[in-house]
Amino acid sequence: MTAYNTTELMICLAARYLEDGSTVVVGTGAPCAAAMLAQRVSAPGLMIMFEAGGVGAQLPTMPISVGDSRTFHRGLYAGSMAEIMEACSRGMVDYAFLGGAQIDPYGNLNSTVIGDHDHPKTRLPGSGGANDLASLCWRTMMIMPQDARRFVPRVDFVTTPGYLTGPGARERAGLPAGTGPHKVVTDLCVIGFDEETCRMRVERTHPGVTREAIAAATGFELIWPDDVPVSEAPTEEELRILRVEVDPYRYIIGRA
C-alpha cells in the first residue's frame, strides 16, 4: 500500500463527499484540490465554482488564487462575484468548501483575529467570501487539521456561521433555513453534526487513529455514537491522480 501524508488523506477523504452533478464553491488550497480530485475520480459532473466569478472550468492545474485565469480555463461561464454569491443566495449552490483557523463545537469558524478584535494578538485575513458561502450554500464542508488550539470551545471571533449557538439559531438570525455545516474532514477523523444538538459528532476515524488521540486534539467534548466505522484509506488511484494531475508541484500536499 502506498504511504500518504495527512494532507493527502484529508483531501482524498473529503473528495468522496462531493456528489456527481452537484455545485460547489471552493476556496484555494485543500478544498480546491479535493474538488479537482473528485472531478477526476468519482464526480466528473461536479460543477466547480469560484467566488471571483469562474464557473465550470476544466482546471488544468491548481489555481494560486480563486480569481486567477485558471479558475475559468475552458470554463462554461466567466461571471462576477455578485453572480456567484447571488446563485448561492438563490439556493442553487449545494456545497461551500472551506478551510479555517479555529472552529467550535457548532462549526463556527474564525479567520479574522486571535485575541480581542480591536487590539488583536494576531490579525488574520478576515471573512473573504467564507461568511457569505457558509451563510448561503446548502451544505458547508470544511477541511482542517485537528488540534486543541484549532478545535476550541469558543472561537475568538465568529467570522463565519456554523450552527451559531445551537438548534434554530441560524434561522432566528435570518440565515436561510436548511443550511449549515455538513462535514469537517480532519487529519484524524470525519466529523458530522448531531441533529438534535447541532454539535460535532464523530462519524469516522481514520486508519490507526484512536479515540484518545482524537479527544486529546479537541478542546471540547465530541459526541461519539456507539459504532464509529474506520475511514477507508486513500486508494492507489486517488493518490496517483492527486499527485500527478491535481497537485504535481506539491503546493498543497507538500505542506503536511
Nearest-approach distance from CB 166 to other proteins, in angstroms: 12
DSSP string, 164-214: TTSTTHHHHHTPPTT-EEEEEE-SSEEEEE-TTT--EEEEEE-TT--HHHH
Closer Cβ to other proteins, 79 or 105, answer by number: 79
Report the distance separating Cα 159 and Cα 201, nearest Å: 22
Check residue 90 for interaction with other proteins (CB under 8 A).
Answer: no
DSSP string, 112-143: SEEE-SSSEEEE----TTHHHHHHHSSEEEEE
Check residue 42 for interaction with other proteins (CB under 8 A).
Answer: no
Check residue 128 for interaction with other proteins (CB under 8 A).
Answer: yes
Closest CA to 222 of 204, 235, 238, 234: 204
Closer Cβ to other proteins, 98 or 217, answer by number: 98
Closer Cβ to other proteins, 189 or 252, answer by number: 252
The single residue listed with the C-alpha cell 457558509 is: 134
55: helix, coil or strand?
strand
Q: Classify residue 108 as left (phi > 0), alpha (psi -120 to 50) or beta.
A: beta
Q: How far is CA 76 from CA 49, 58, 79, 80, 147, in A?
A: 10, 9, 10, 13, 39
Check residue 125 for interaction with other proteins (CB under 8 A).
Answer: yes
Check residue 64 for interaction with other proteins (CB under 8 A).
Answer: yes
Check residue 76 for interaction with other proteins (CB under 8 A).
Answer: no
- Choose the stretch contacting other proteins; rule: CB under 8 A; options: 137-145, 155-163, 183-191, 207-215: 155-163
Nearest-approach distance from CB 50 to other proteins, in angstroms: 8
Nearest-approach distance from CB 196 to other proteins, in angstroms: 20
The single residue listed with the C-alpha cell 488523506 is: 9
Here the cell at position 248 is 504535481
160: helix, coil or strand?
strand
Check residue 173 for interaction with other proteins (CB under 8 A).
Answer: yes
The answer to whether residue 196 is catalytic is no
Residue span 10-29 as binding mask against other proteins, x where in contact by CB under 8 A, dash where not = ------------------xx
Number of shown-chain residues binding other proteins (CB under 8 A): 64
Tell me which amino acid residue 248 is. P
> Which residues form the interface with other proteins (CB under 8 A)?
28-29, 44, 51-54, 58-61, 64-69, 71-74, 78-82, 85, 89, 108, 112, 117-132, 135-136, 157-161, 164, 169-170, 172-176, 245, 251-252
Looking at the annotation, which residues are catalytic?
Answer: 51
